[in-house]
Amino acid sequence: MEFQTRFGQTDILNSRMKLESYWLSSESQDDLSQAIGTAGEKITEVVFKRKLDGSVFILADFFSQVTTCLKSELCHLRTTCAVFRNHVVALRNTYFDIFKKWEKRWGENLGEGPYQYFSTRCPKD
């Protein structure tokens, strides 16, 4: 439950709100229509242009911490999955191209680990 509380606290909440507010705005559609490439490449271009990559990083880091909690069996699997699974999947799928670019630079895909864990370990509804 500690992670659920943290999910609503300042830094993480601000990151979530920044991203969601932007994607729900008409500006995002304009930016995406002007960007070049595949859907993933367009999202990456727009995120970097709008300086939203820090928010993506904060959420990826948070979900990595949640995954570590699950792996070490400190977090209850069913509860954690119910709260975070959809968020983890959405983050990875939306920012897949960004995570691939970061992986080339840092050697680690910040979205894939949590995605794989939640996809394979969480009970299916």
Q: What is the pLDDT of residue 4?
A: 65
Instruction: Kindly tell me the sign of the dihedral angle through the C-alpha atoms of 8, 14, 15, 17.
Output: positive
Q: What is the pTM of this model?
A: 0.91
pLDDT tens string 45-63? 999 999 999 999 999 999 9
pLDDT > 90? residue 125 = no
Quickly tell me which residue has 């080339």 as its tokens: 104
Q: Which of 76, 44, 49, 55 is nearest to 12 (CA)?
A: 55
Quick one: tokens of 91?
């983050």
Contact (CB, 8 A) for 46 and 39: no
